[in-house]
Amino acid sequence: MTLILTIISGLIIGLSLGLLGAGGAILTVPALIYVVGMTEKAAIAHSLIVVGVIALAGTLFHLRRGQRQLIPRVFSLFAISSIPGAAFGAWIGAVIPSYWQVSVLVVLMTLAAYKMMTPSVSADADELRPVRLLAVGLATGVLTGLVGVGGGFLIVPALVMFAGLTMAQATATSLALIVTNTSMAVLTLLLFDSSAEWQSTVLITLCSLGIAGVIAGRFLSGRVPVNVTRRVFAFCLLIIATVLSIDMLTQLL
């Protein structure tokens, strides 16, 4: 039964990423906690790999189609701060109590739900704003390493507003940034947290089904109403955030 639920979870994560472009990876940690039965810290560590692999598949998909949407200059500028931020976040996550990580995740899920229920950001900038981009890069890198999310729902609007990218360019560049950030976070955990016990079967299942879900989501993206999908996804995020909050308070009291 656990394997079946894991397969379903992988497909849902991939579908949400394929349909919405961002936000789906934030489901990975709750899925690993409630479906697979991992501890919070183990779920965050495994989520980094799953999110990174799915983002890598999305990046290769964009490159293979020859769309040239990834903007190297913006990617490099953002990565300057986001990569060390991811390392720092992973290091902090290895030493602080797990309830702090879950608290941050709950806040991020609530924020993501709000973003899903509001109109998408429009490209109203026509020039690069390096300082703001560096600041957002650092923040999203830290969050990636700390709680195991990709941060696409933060990176994409930042790239549009502070780098003047189109939504397509921002999405492609965001995927590549998620790959670098999660890779650095995983490397940091391997160096500083020897207690992590990796479950290869879970990783392979979620990664492969997540990639399949992304492909299916891209195929269905023009065939289902996006606004309805976003609202359903936001509602699910709020429910999961509530459950996480209740569980965390139960453990503390």
pLDDT higher than threshold 60 for residue 66:
no
| C-alpha to C-alpha distance for 68 and 61, rounded to whole angstroms | 11
Write the pLDDT tens digit of every residue in 170-226: 878 888 898 999 999 999 988 887 666 788 888 998 888 888 877 777 677 667 676
Report the SS3 class of residue 35.
helix
> Is the model more confident about 82 or about 153?
82
Phi, psi of 199 (to 5 degrees): -110, 100
Task: Select the more confidently predicted residue: 151 or 131.
Answer: 131
Confidence check: pLDDT of 102 > 70: yes
Give 50 or 154, the one with higher predicted confidence: 50
Domain that holds residue 168: 2-252
pLDDT, position 86: 94
> Residues for the chain: how many in total?
253
Q: Closest Cα to residue 131, out of 162, 102, 156? A: 162
Q: Tally Cβ neighbours within 10 Å of residue 194.
A: 8
Q: Are 22 and 229 in contact (CB under 8 A)?
A: no
Task: With H, G, I as helix, E, B as strand and everything else as coil, classify residue 61.
Answer: helix
Residue 138's pLDDT is 94
Contact status, residue 140 vs residue 151, Cβ threshold 8 Å? yes
Domains contained in the chain, number? 1
The pLDDT tens digits of the residues spanning 211-230 come to: 887 777 767 766 767 677 77
How much is the pLDDT for 228?
74
Give the pLDDT band (50/70/90) at residue 26.
confident
Write out pLDDT tens, residues 7-24.
Answer: 777 777 777 766 665 666
The amino acid that residue 219 corresponds to is F
Q: What is the per-residue DSSP string for 101-148?
A: HHHHHHHHHHHHHHHHHSPPPP----S--HHHHHHHHHHHHHHHHHH-
Distance CA(184)–CA(198), nearest Å, equals 17
The span from the CA of 232 to the CA of 131, in Å, is 35
Average pLDDT over residues 28-42: 87
Does position 64 have pLDDT exceeding 80, yes or no?
A: no
Amino acid sitting at position 42: A
Question: Which residue would you say has higher pLDDT here, 64 or 36?
Answer: 36
Instruction: Give me the phi and psi of 91, to 5 degrees please.
Output: -65, -45
Assign 92 a pLDDT band (cuts: 50, 70, 90).
very high
**Residue 131: is it exposed, middle or buried by C-beta count within 10 angstroms (0-12/13-18/19+)?**
exposed
pLDDT at 123 (0 to 100):
47
Confidence class of residue 49 from pLDDT cuts 50, 70 and 90?
very high
